[in-house]
Structure 1
Amino acid sequence: MPNFLGSAGTVPAFFVLLTLILSSVVVVSLVLARFRQSLLVGYFLCGLVLANSGILVWAGADSSEMIHALSEIGIILLLFTLGVEFSVNELKNLRRPAFLGGGVQMLLCALAGTGVVVLMGLPVRHAIVIGFAIALSSTAVSLKSFQDMRQPDSPQGRVALGMALFQDLAVIFFMVLLPVILNAGGNPVVDLSLALVKGVAFCVGAVFLSRYGIPQMLSAVALTRSRELFTVTVVGLCTAVAVLSGLLGLSPALGAFAAGVVVSGSIYSHRVLAEVLPLKDLFLTLFFVSIGLLIDLDSVIAHWHLIVCGTFLIIVIKGSIVAFAARLSGLRMGDWLITAAALSSTGEFSIVLLNRATELEALSPVIEQVLLVCTAVTMGVVPFLMKLSVPAAVKLRAHLSRKPGTRSDRNLGMGGKIEGLTDHVIICGYGPVGRNLHENLRKSNVRAVIIEMNASTVKKLLNEGTKCIFADAGQRVALKLARLKYARAIAYTFPHKEVALGALPIIREINPSILVFGRTKFESEAAELLRAGVNHVLHDEEESGRAMTHAVMDCYTATLDEEA
C-alpha cells in the first residue's frame, strides 16, 4: 500500500496519527452516543481499526515507536491526574474500606489470578505478576462512572474509592519488587536490597520535594499570576518526576502518579485539579485508543477463546471477591453490587505493570496481547455493568430490608474535603470586600467557602480553619469543588466583569436557582452583568458616591448640632 501522506513529507507523522485518532473518536462517539452506549469500548475499537486496517500505513503513521510513545504519553498524563486526585486525608477517612476491604480484595484476587495462570502452565514468577495485575482495577473508569451516575459521594462510591486508594499504594510497592520477582538467576538478597534502596530513595525524594521543593516552586509561580506559567510548571513537574522514576529503573507512569500525589498534598492541589481535570477525559481517550493501536488483530483471532475466557473469569471471580470485600467494608443492603461492578475490571496500572514485565522479558507476545485485550474489554464494560447493578441493588435492598436485623451502610463521610456543605455562600476573591463579607457572614453563623488566587492568603485562611480553595473562580472544576450545586449564593467580590460573565453559564447550568452577586467599576459594566443574569450588582462609582454624600452631609449635621 502506498505511503500517501508520508511520501509528501509535508505533514509530521505524529500529527497525522493524532489527527486520525481524534477524528475517528469523534465519529465513533457520535454514533455510540446516539444509541446511549459506553464510549470507552468505542475508543478501543478506534485504535484497533486504525492499527489493523492499513490506514496508518497509507498515512505514513505506522511507526511502532511512535505508537508506543503516544501510549506512554497517554498513560503518564492519565496517572498524573489520578495522583492529583489522590488524598492522604481521604485514605485516613476511609481506613476500613481501604485497608480491610482493599487488602482482602487485593490478596484474594492476586491469589485467584495466580492460581489460574499456574494451572495454564506458566511459571510461578510470571503467574504472580499476572495475578497482581488482575487484582488492580481502573480508578479512572470507576470514579468517572460514579460521577456520571451522580453517585460519587454515595457509600458504594466511597468504598470503591477506598479500595482504589489501597490498590494505588500497593502497586508502588509491587513495582519496586518486580525486577526481583522476575529475576530467577540473580542473587535474591542483593536484588532485593537494591530494589528496596531504589524504592526508599524514590519515596524519600518524593517526600522531600513535597515539603521543600515543589511547594516553594509553585508558590513562586503563583505569585506571577500567570495561568500559562502555572500550567507549564505542572506539566513540567509531571514529566520530570516521570523521567526520574525511569532512571531509577521504575516505570515513568509510576513517577507521574507520584508527582500527582506530591502535588495533592499542597494547597495548590485545587488549582492543579482545575487546570488538569478538564483534560482528564482526553487522556483517558488517548489511553484507550493507544491500547487498541497496540493490538494485533491476527493474534486476537487466533486466541479469541483465551480472551473470552479471561474476560469472563476476571469479571465473575474478581467481581465476587470485590463484593465480599465491600461487605467487609461496611456496605449493606445490596450496595456492594454496585461497588463490585465498578471494580470488576483490570485497570490502567495493570497496563503499566504488564508493560514493565514485557520490558523485563517475562511475558510472551501472545500473553501480552491476550491481557491487553482483556483489560480493554473489562474496563470498557464497567459503565454498562454499573448501570445494570443499580436496579439489581434496589431489588436486593428491598428484599433485605424486610429481614429483621439488617444493617444499613456505615458512615463513610467525606472527612477533610469541602463536602457536606449546603445552603452556604461561595466568596470569590478575598480582598477588602471579600474579607468584610466573610467576617459578617461568620458573625451571622452563615457558612462560606472562599475561592482565592493569592497563595499567601489561602495558607493563612487554611491555618485559621477556614474552608478555602486555591483556584480560579471562573473554572467549572473550582466551582464544583466549592459545592456550587448546594450553595445559596455566590459573590464575585472583585470588579472584573469578564470572570463573572465567563462563569455565569456554568453557574446557571449547575445551580439554576442560586443568587449571583457581582461587582463592577463602571455603570455600563453593571448594566451588562444585569442583562447577563447576575441577580445583584454593586457599582463601585455609585457606592462611592453614596459614601461621599453621607460623609459630606455628616459635616453639616455636626455643624448644626454644635450651633444648637
Structure 2
Amino acid sequence: MEPGVLKDIVIIFALSTFVNFIFTRIRIPAIIGYLITGIIAGPYLLKLISSPENVEVMAEIGVILLMFTIGLEFSLNHLLNIRKVVFLGGFMQLLLTATITMLTARVFHFEWTESVFVGFLTALSSTAVVLKLLQERSELTTHYGKTIVGILIFQDIILIPLLLFTPMLGGATADVGHDLLLLMLKTIGIMLFIWVGTKWLMPWLLHLIAMTRSQELFLMSLLLICLAVAMLTHQLGMSLAFGAFLAGLMISDTEYSHSAFGNLIPFKDVFTSFFFVSIGMLLDLGFVADHPWLVIGTVLLVIVLKAFVAGLTAFSLGHTFFGTVVVGLSLAQVGEFSFILAGLGLMHEIITPVHYQLFLAVAVTSMALSPLMIQISRPLANLILRLPLPPGIVNGLFPVKQVEIPEISNHTLLIGKDSRAINLASMIKTMGLPFTSIVFDPDLARREMEKGNMTVFGDATFEPVLREAFAHTAELVVISVGNLITALSIVEHIRKMNKHAHIIVRTRHVTDIEELYKLGASQVIPEEFETAIDFFERILGKYLIPRMDIERAIARTREDNYGIFRDRSKVGGYSLLKDIPDIEIAAVRVGEESVFAGKTIAQTAMRKTAGVTIVAINHDGKITANPDPSSVINGNDIAYLLGKPEMIALAINILSEPRPD
C-alpha cells in the first residue's frame, strides 16, 4: 500500500471519529457526520485527501457489503411477496417522478433531452442511505419498510435500461433491439442462477465450509460469494450493489444466514463509512456559496416533489396516511446511482457543467437531510393525523376492517410490529388466557383477525387505538416494537391511562432500561443481554452443572447487570419491594409428586432450608394470603414465594423434588 493511501485512511478515520463523537453527543445521525467529513477533507475545502479514487474504491466495497447484509435480512420468499410493490409501485414512482421533473425542467427552459435526463436523475433514491437507516431502526420488515425496499429494488433494476438509454439521448447510435434482447437473456440467466443458488448451491456450499469448523474460512467464503456474484452481475451490465443484494438473498434462506450477518457487520460499517465520505467530497462549497438560493430552492423543490410522488405511490398501494408520509419522506432524496448517470450524461454532453454542479449540490444536500426526514416522518404523520381528515385518507384505499372488541378487563394486551408478538399471541391463546393485541402491519393484522383474535390495526402511540384494545383496563401489557422512541411513547401513554397495569417491554440494549423505567415500565427485557443469558444457561447445562446452581448463577448475573432496575413496578401504592430491590415474589407450582405435596407450611421448613417465605397459596383458583404454618400445600397448588432471586431458585428446586420411591 502506498503511504499516500494510508494517510488518506488515517485522515478519514480521524476526522470521522472527531465529528461523530460530537454528533453522537448531540444525537445527530452518524451518516451526516461522514458526509461532513467528506466535505471538510475533500478537494473543495481543505484538500486533505490526495487519492480520491482510492476512497471511491473503498466506498464501492462499502455499498456492496451493505447491500449484501440487506439481502441476508430478506429472503427470496419475501421478495416474491412484495413483487407487486417492486414492479407496480416502483414503475409508478419512477414514471411520475421523471414526468413531473421533466415538465418542471421545461418550465425553466431546459432542452427536451436534458429535461428527460434530469427527470431520470431525480427519480432515483438512495438505496445505501435509506436501507442503512431502516436497518438501524429495525424497520426493514415493517409494512412501509417493505414498500420502500420494493421501490428501491425496482430503481436498481431499471438503472440498466437507463444506462443503455443515456447515450441515445446524447445522439449516439445503437442497436436498441439487440441490446434489449441481450438484456432479457441476461435477466433470465440471473433469475435461473438465483433459483439454483438458493435451492441447492448455497446450502450445499456453506454446509461444506461450516463442517471445517474454521471461522476464517467461513468469513473468506462469504466475502468471496458476495464479491463474485457482484462482479458477475456487473459483467452482465448491472450494478455491483444489486449483485451483492442477490448474493445475500441466496444465503438468506440457509441456516447460516445469521452467522453470516454477524460476521460481516464490522466490515460493512467500516467500508460503508467511506461511501458517505466519498459523497461528501463531491460537494463544491464554492458553487453553493455563489448560488445559495438556487441550491436551496432546488433542494426544497426536489424533496417536496419526490415526497409527494412516493407518498402518492404508497397510498395507491393501500398504505394508511401514516405509512404514506413515512414512505414519502424516506424516498425524498436523490440516489447514489444518479451520480453514475450524471457522469455519463456530462460525458455525452446531455447535461451542462453548471447543471451538473447544481445536481451534485442538490444530491449531496438531500442525502444529508435524509436521516432528519426519516426521523421526523413518524412524528409529522402523527401530528397531521390530529387534524379532522376524511376516513378515506386516514385509513387508505384498502382499509383493514376492524374487529369490534367487546368490553374486557384484567386481560393481556400485546403490542408489536413483527412475528414476535404474533407468536406470543398464539402461545397465550393455547393457554386460554384473555388477550387483545395491537398490530402495526395491516397484513399481519388481517391474518390475526381471520384467526378470530381480538386484534386492532393501528399505531399504538395513539391513545384512541390503545383504548380500542382496552389498554386502560388491561392487567398486563407486553410491548415488542423494536424501536426505543416508539416504545417510550407507548409506555408513557399506557401509564397515563392505566396506573396499575404491569408493563413488560422488549428493548435491544441494557442501556435503554433506565429510560423505560422512568416512564413507567414494570419490567424491561433487553434482548441482547437475555440472548447472552440463554447461551450462558445452555453452556452450564452442557457442563452438567446442577439446575439449582444454574438458576442461582443466572439470578446473580441478572442482579449484577440490571442493578436497581431489576423487575419492578414504579406505580401504585407503597411496596416493600421498592425499598429492597434484591427481593422479589415468584409463583411456583408444586408438583403432584413433590415431596412436600400434602404437608403443612411448617413441615416444609422453607424459611430455614431455602431462606424464602410462603406469602400466599393458590388452591383451585382460590388464593389464601398470609397462610398460617398449619396450612396444607397440595399437589398442583401455586405457592407464592418471597425472597432473594438465588434463594427462590433453590426453593423451586426443592419444591420440584419428587418423593423417593
TM over 0.5: yes
Paired residues of 1:251 and 1:352 also in contact (CA < 8 A): no
Question: Which residue does the alignment assign to 1:531?
Answer: 556
Change (3 A) 1:125 1:223: farther
Shift of 1:112: 1.9
Change (3 A) 1:199 1:26: same
The DSSP-based 3-state class of the residue aligned with 1:52 is coil
Greater mean alpha carbon deviation, residues 515-524 or residues 12-21? 515-524
Question: Which residue does the alignment assign to 1:74?
Answer: 62
1:221 paired to 2:209: yes
1:408 paired to 2:433: no
Q: Over aligned residues, Cα RMSD in angstroms? A: 4.7
**How many residues are aligned here?**
468
Shift of 1:289: 0.7
Question: Which residue does the alignment assign to 2:39?
Answer: 48
Match 1:13 to one of 4, 21, 33: 4
Change (3 A) 1:319 1:508: closer
Change (3 A) 1:118 1:327: same
Letter in 2 for 1:221: I
Match 1:179 to one of 161, 164, 171: 164
1:421 paired to 2:438: no
TM-score where L is the length of structure 2: 0.59
Hey, what's the Cα distance between the residues in 2 that align with 1:369 and 1:207? 42
1:108 paired to 2:109: no
Paired residues of 1:299 and 1:366 also in contact (CA < 8 A): no
Shift of 1:11: 6.9
Paired residues of 1:314 and 1:344 also in contact (CA < 8 A): yes
Paired residues of 1:111 and 1:131 also in contact (CA < 8 A): yes
Question: Which residue does the alignment assign to 1:394?
Answer: 382
Match 1:162 to one of 128, 132, 147: 147
Change (3 A) 1:111 1:63: same
Greater mean alpha carbon deviation, residues 211-220 or residues 97-106? 97-106
Change (3 A) 1:70 1:314: same
The DSSP-based 3-state class of the residue aligned with 1:37 is coil
Match 2:182 to one of 178, 191, 194: 194
Change (3 A) 1:418 1:223: farther
Hey, what's the Cα distance between the residues in 2 that align with 1:406 and 1:112? 23
Letter in 2 for 1:46: T
Shift of 1:162: 1.1
Change (3 A) 1:194 1:306: farther
Question: Which residue does the alignment assign to 1:259?
Answer: 247
Paired residues of 1:94 and 1:159 also in contact (CA < 8 A): no
Letter in 2 for 1:285: S
Shift of 1:406: 6.4
Match 1:287 to one of 275, 279, 297: 275
Question: Which residue does the alignment assign to 2:448?
Answer: none
Paired residues of 1:333 and 1:400 also in contact (CA < 8 A): no
The DSSP-based 3-state class of the residue aligned with 1:345 is coil
The DSSP-based 3-state class of the residue aligned with 1:169 is helix
Match 1:85 to one of 65, 73, 85: 73
Paired residues of 2:59 and 2:271 also in contact (CA < 8 A): no
Letter in 2 for 1:215: P
The DSSP-based 3-state class of the residue aligned with 2:387 is helix
Hey, what's the Cα distance between the residues in 1 that align with 2:256 and 2:349? 40
Change (3 A) 1:120 1:398: closer
TM-score where L is the length of structure 1: 0.68
Greater mean alpha carbon deviation, residues 376-385 or residues 386-395? 386-395
**Which whole-Å deviations, capped at 9, do the CAs of 1:15-54 have from their partners, x for residues lacking one?**
2222211221121122223333344333212101101377
The DSSP-based 3-state class of the residue aligned with 2:13 is helix
Shift of 1:108: 0.4
Question: Which residue does the alignment assign to 2:311?
Answer: 323
Hey, what's the Cα distance between the residues in 2 that align with 1:83 and 1:236? 15
Hey, what's the Cα distance between the residues in 2 that align with 1:16 and 1:507? 38
Paired residues of 2:61 and 2:272 also in contact (CA < 8 A): no
Letter in 2 for 1:247: Q
Could you list the runs of 5+ residues in structure 2 that have no partner in the other structure?
Answer: 402-415, 434-479, 488-506, 514-522, 560-644
Greater mean alpha carbon deviation, residues 308-317 or residues 88-97? 88-97
The DSSP-based 3-state class of the residue aligned with 2:174 is coil
Change (3 A) 1:283 1:443: same
Q: Which has the higher helix share?
A: 1
Letter in 2 for 1:336: T
Hey, what's the Cα distance between the residues in 1 that align with 2:102 and 2:286? 27
Hey, what's the Cα distance between the residues in 2 that align with 1:87 and 1:309? 40
Match 2:19 to one of 15, 25, 28: 28
Letter in 1 for 2:365: V
Identity fraction in percent: 27
Letter in 1 for 2:15: S
1:211 paired to 2:199: yes
The DSSP-based 3-state class of the residue aligned with 1:512 is strand
Paired residues of 2:44 and 2:285 also in contact (CA < 8 A): no
Shift of 1:168: 0.9
Change (3 A) 1:379 1:193: same
Shift of 1:91: 4.2
Question: Which residue does the alignment assign to 1:468?
Answer: none
Hey, what's the Cα distance between the residues in 1 that align with 2:206 and 2:483? 27
Question: Which residue does the alignment assign to 2:593?
Answer: none
Which structure: larger Rg?
Answer: 2
Letter in 2 for 1:49: I
Hey, what's the Cα distance between the residues in 2 that align with 1:536 and 1:134? 62
Shift of 1:245: 2.6
Bigger relative CO (Cα 8 Å, ≥ 6 apart): 1
Hey, what's the Cα distance between the residues in 1 that align with 2:349 and 2:222? 34
Change (3 A) 1:202 1:92: closer
**Which whole-Å deviations, capped at 9, do the CAs of 1:316-335 have from their partners, x for residues lacking one?**
11111122222222233555
Greater mean alpha carbon deviation, residues 19-28 or residues 30-39? 30-39
Hey, what's the Cα distance between the residues in 1 that align with 2:32 and 2:314? 27
Question: Which residue does the alignment assign to 2:587?
Answer: none
Greater mean alpha carbon deviation, residues 506-515 or residues 377-386? 506-515
Hey, what's the Cα distance between the residues in 2 that align with 1:319 and 1:442? 42
Paired residues of 1:337 and 1:393 also in contact (CA < 8 A): yes
Shift of 1:186: 2.2
Change (3 A) 1:70 1:91: closer
